Structure 1
């Protein structure tokens, strides 16, 4: 797939747009004023592969915590701010790497100028975030509800305010809980400006439904070549958001990171406990960071062929399995040793075994 050309901005050393690798983002759900809890959660995100972390900044104490959180975590941080320009200024003073604030909601032009001037001085990007659930009443009246066209018009109004101040370090997001509206909004926006786009289906729900909605919406846009960074929004553990975002990119070949497992759904021909083997392999080597494709297949019908397409894999048989390595059969392995032997091969091939 060919990605659309967009401008590039930098968030704490991480490039967004301009053909750069697509960063995965998430957002803390701790009380930002609780520095220890917030840093602990950010470190879990970081360990899961998160590239950029957003925090809700809703009062001065939150803003004042930014500097210490940044110092302890070492992660690129985004301040999520609504309406209060003073919090944006304080966040900038504290070393925030990016602002999520809509200039049209700040108030009088002088306030906007102050924020833009401070952001420009420190080369801090501003993300305009339009949500279907919070559109201005005049736009809702004009389009008879929260439509993709209305979301784009809202974004363009915010963009115009920044452009009039000669500010172009802009990232744009247009999110709805409805997948089709989200996709259509981004497609329309991609035709109007070349600012990098932050993808996501907002308020996607619990992992059961939210992962599906996010994968469909974000995946459809990425297949169109649209999108420069993403966040999966789920109700629950923020680490799940990161893991899902990375899996979306992996499935489209847009990120090679860690272990990718290809495993069959099983059928009556399967004579090994394939599900348990997959879980055991993930438990033993799920934290491997080097890219490696692993096939765990249940029988000899499709198993050997699928395993040969992977860096390493097994194909099950009657109480045993065959180990494949880079397309070549290596040896037969007893069924009760399949998980441990495959894990051993993965560690050796990635160099992770020597670190243990």
Structure 2
């Protein structure tokens, strides 16, 4: 049975977190002389001279309404990358512990592991881009603390079988981290509804994709209160700046607009797939539950360079394991997609 104290690093158990001025005082006051801020304001149209809410309460309350998850089960980070890094720093002992990754997958998991001196065990996805459960079971040892699963997966675009993820959650005594950066485009339901069922589940989401707020760097982690408390303990005091908090809160009022963009993206995805299949140099287009498609071609590098020459940038994934010859293409606006197709018509 999962017990957080069995995988939490000893130094984190004993860590006394930094107590900021805004941690020590709750509520409103007329005079703030506690945080050594510039009392005269800031040289901008809006005053940013005061430190932001360290726990982003207003944003979490709005997210709670949208996601159906209590605010106490939400962590906000400087992008999902900060949440990933904090999980390594909280639960993995450098030079001793290991994590399991399932390539091809999001590259920051391995980068973060390397930065934190954590060994990586790779268990490749199957040819159908699904989990190799037997291989994962064989790779787990007493020092395996985290398993990262991206679903829908980047760069392949497909969702991972839900039953396979549940099998890991039920049988692994470390954390299973399900990265749902592209969940808004998926037919699968989010795993955040399963938080009460699995104490070892961490779900990552972001405002960078469907919500169109990549520049603000606001990532989310959903987990048990115990895990969220650890993450809040380890994070920097003011990890989400005031401008990002205010703009995120404003954006989160526009659910209908975002839902409209999602529907249009899915329609454009279907149209783009049909158009691309007409080209002889397209070998295969893999099923996608994301806002991008993985396209297997006869000459990935040649097509990539050709598109660059014409001012169109896609992602060459041809050197990634199990993605040989493939380009990852984000779904653009209708006009951007037309421009892509028209440009490719002249590729030889």
Instruction: Please confirm whether the aligned pair reaches a TM-score higher than 0.5, indicating the same fold.
Output: no
TM-score scaled to structure 1, two decimals?
0.30
Q: Highest Rg: 1 or 2?
A: 1
TM-score scaled to structure 2, two decimals?
0.30
Higher helix share: 1
